[in-house]
Amino acid sequence: MAEKKRPYTKKRFREIVRVLATYGFGHILHAKLGSEKLKKDPENLRLVFEELGPTFIKIGQILSTRPDILPVEYITELAKLQDKAPPFPYETLWEILKTELGDPTELFQSIEKVPLACASVAQVHRGILKDGTRCIIKVQRPDIEERLLEDIHILIRIVETAPNTLRDVLLDPVEALEEILETTKVELDFLHEMRAIHRFEKENASILCVAIPKVYDHLCTKRVIVQEEVEGIKITEKDTLLKEGYDLEDIGKKLVLSYLYQLFNNGFFHGDPHPGNLLILEGKIYYIDFGIMGALSKRTQNAINDLLLAMVKKDISALTNLVVEVADQKGPLNKNVLYEDIEYIVHYYLQSSLKNIQVSRLFMDLFEAARKNNLKLPKEYTTLLKSLLILEGVLSDLAPDLSIMEIAKDYLKEDHKISLWPDFSLDTLALNGYTLVKDSLKIPISIQTILDNFISGRGKVKVDIVNLSDKWVDFNKMVNRMVFALIVSAIIIASALIIRTGAGPDINGISIVGMLGFALAGFFGLWLLISILKSGNI
């Protein structure tokens, strides 16, 4: 693969290396990390990022959400980074708006000169549209894209020169930074945020306790996004909420339920639910700032379903197998060591009641166990973990007696999201049965291929001729059972299709023929199972 262009200035490169060396990170080029005298590395790394300015603070914040690649002590320290930056001049804001939208005087009655908030990527101002509507204007900092991407490229270059010495801290460091680079490019495109707002609004339209500010599409570009202002109460302003007659526990429960709906029903969730992004107005929870969003594939949703089920059952083997199944292996894996690590986690967290369990900490330790054993969990899980960590913090302040685990257990049980057979339905049954029969029809072709190989002299086999007649009888039994199982599968498929189409007479809308088919298949299947158990060959 061709080498990617890595644009950066030598001056900035030297500055970054100098600051790293100042805080004791010169050893990354020649010594192994993790020795006793390097225990202050996590704190020093945070200080490095703070000194190198807003772009590195942003990079540090992104790294703090990646327990799949960084040890827990680094995650904890980098999470302390505050995303604050000095404001850029009002004149610069005006020029950016003019470049992106045209003459601001034709679009806004006024724009407040003092910013509402200043972060590493963007600055936020209050404004009033021409029709008198109060709005929030978020404008990307000048040159932030170039500077942020430049700094990430420099970091990539640094870790490329000493990947082996960084192994104890970063799991696959270059790949990790490449992922951060791609994530940053998405976050720097405000049109992506605009589309996320529309999707979130559509998918949560049925949830009456959830609302989002209106976004003005015609005032949105890659560097500018304009939304209506929501003059709600911050979710952390408990005294004000109580004075307005709100029940804090009710707000907390609805917040968690709305989040569970995003995770398990939509697979698309708010990735940064910190207190500043949650407002209460007119009995609704307003989510704001959609720059960071998470998405879960159906496969990941089912995997989380299985993980939670295994946790509830304290099934360590199932948990270990699931972690191995969903993760990418980045080095040698000792499954016995992984099993012992997960066994410790399960016993540590699940010896008490579900109410006392911090879901985010449990998952954080699972990530750490995976990382220590050279397993990297998919990026989908990292955004989810960060969100749960923030959400638990909000909940512990708002309603300390509530537990995400308890609410999740009841929600998933009531909504049938956790089950032994996720996605079970007549449609999937018919489809899977059809696939089974279709694949089974390939068996004669495979046998013919094997025979052709032997006839042409290409096939080789080692045969044990002891008790050949007995083996032949066993082979006949095996083939008979396979054919019988295929017949049972065919009956199940046919019955599922009959019930689905409603063919023939019915009882309460369910086809009698289909029900009889299922009963017949159940009888034959039970008979086959009993015969196998009696034979002693399972």
pTM metric for this prediction: 0.71
Question: Do residues 291 and 193 touch, judged by C-beta distance below 8 A?
Answer: yes
Output the average pLDDT for the chain.
80
Domain boundaries, the chain: 10-83+148-179, 86-140+189-229, 299-414, 426-535
Cα angle 75, 384, 399 (rounded to 5 degrees) comes to: 90
Higher pLDDT, 145 or 126: 126
Name the residue type at position 517.
G
What's the whole-number mean pLDDT along residues 500-526? Answer: 74
Question: Do residues 493 and 440 touch, judged by C-beta distance below 8 A?
Answer: no
Q: How far apart are the first and last CA of the chain?
A: 49
From the list 156, 186, 229, 179, the residue with the least C-alpha distance to 8 is 156
Higher pLDDT, 141 or 314: 141
State the Cα–Cα distance between residues 503 and 48, nearest whole angstrom. Answer: 71
* pLDDT value of residue 320: 92
Q: Is the pLDDT of residue 33 over 50?
A: no
What's the whole-number mean pLDDT along residues 252-263? Answer: 93
Q: Is the pLDDT of residue 469 over 70?
A: no
What's the whole-number mean pLDDT along residues 465-483? Answer: 61
State the Cα–Cα distance between residues 158 and 162, nearest whole angstrom. Answer: 7
Two tokens, residue 173: 């460091």
* pLDDT value of residue 413: 63
Q: Which residues pair with 134 in a beta bridge?
A: 128
Two tokens, residue 48: 């490095």
Which residues are within 8 A (CB) of 53 and not within 5 positions of it... i.e. 6 or more apart? none
Which residues are within 8 A (CB) of 287 and not within 5 positions of it... i.e. 6 or more apart? 200, 210, 211, 212, 270, 273, 277, 278
Q: Considering only the top CATH level, what class is 86-140+189-229?
A: alpha beta
The bridge status of strand 278-281 relative to strand 293-295 is unpaired
Q: How far is CA 125 from CA 5, 98, 231, 353, in A?
A: 36, 15, 14, 46
The segment with the largest mean pLDDT, out of 11-20, 388-397, 424-433, is 388-397
> What are 94-105's pLDDT values in tens digits?
999 999 999 999
How does residue 430 score in pLDDT terms, banded at 50, 70 and 90? low
Name the residue type at position 432.
N
* pLDDT value of residue 257: 93
Q: Is the pLDDT of residue 2 over 50?
A: no
* pLDDT value of residue 420: 38
Two tokens, residue 109: 């009655």
State the Cα–Cα distance between residues 402 and 410, nearest whole angstrom. Answer: 13
> What are 137-192's pLDDT values in tens digits?
999 999 888 888 888 888 888 877 765 555 555 656 677 778 788 888 888 999 99
* pLDDT value of residue 165: 55
Residue 464 per-residue DSSP state:
-
Q: How far is CA 97 from CA 175, 192, 217, 219, 302, in A?
A: 36, 18, 15, 10, 44
Residue 327 per-residue DSSP state:
S
State the Cα–Cα distance between residues 57 and 88, nearest whole angstrom. Answer: 17
State the Cα–Cα distance between residues 513 and 202, nearest whole angstrom. Answer: 41
Q: Going along 130-235, which residue ranges are E strands?
A: 134-140, 210-211, 224-228, 233-234
State the Cα–Cα distance between residues 16 and 151, nearest whole angstrom. Answer: 9
* pLDDT value of residue 446: 58
Residue 190 per-residue DSSP state:
H
* Phi, psi of 344, deg, nearest 5: -60, -45
From the list 59, 173, 69, the residue with the least C-alpha distance to 120 is 59
Q: How far is CA 460 from CA 47, 442, 450, 454, 456, in A?
A: 66, 22, 10, 7, 11
Dihedral of CA 226/231/232/235: which sign? positive
How does residue 203 score in pLDDT terms, banded at 50, 70 and 90? very high
**Percent of the chain topping pLDDT 90:** 31
What's the whole-number mean pLDDT along residues 443-462? Answer: 58
Q: Is the pLDDT of residue 355 over 90?
A: no
Neighbours of 145 (CB within 10 A): 17
Name the residue type at position 513.
V
From the list 142, 286, 310, 94, the residue with the least C-alpha distance to 201 is 286
Q: Is the pLDDT of residue 364 over 70?
A: yes
Q: Is the pLDDT of residue 409 over 80?
A: no
Burial level of 18, CB count in 10 A (0-12/13-18/19+)? Answer: exposed
Question: Do residues 280 and 396 touch, judged by C-beta distance below 8 A?
Answer: no
What's the whole-number mean pLDDT along residues 372-396? Answer: 87
The bridge status of strand 117-118 relative to strand 284-287 is unpaired
Which residues are within 8 A (CB) of 179 and not within 5 positions of it... i.e. 6 or more apart? 379
Question: Do residues 280 and 241 touch, judged by C-beta distance below 8 A?
Answer: yes
From the list 267, 363, 272, the residue with the least C-alpha distance to 323 is 363
Q: Is the pLDDT of residue 276 over 60?
A: yes
Q: Is the pLDDT of residue 19 over 70?
A: yes
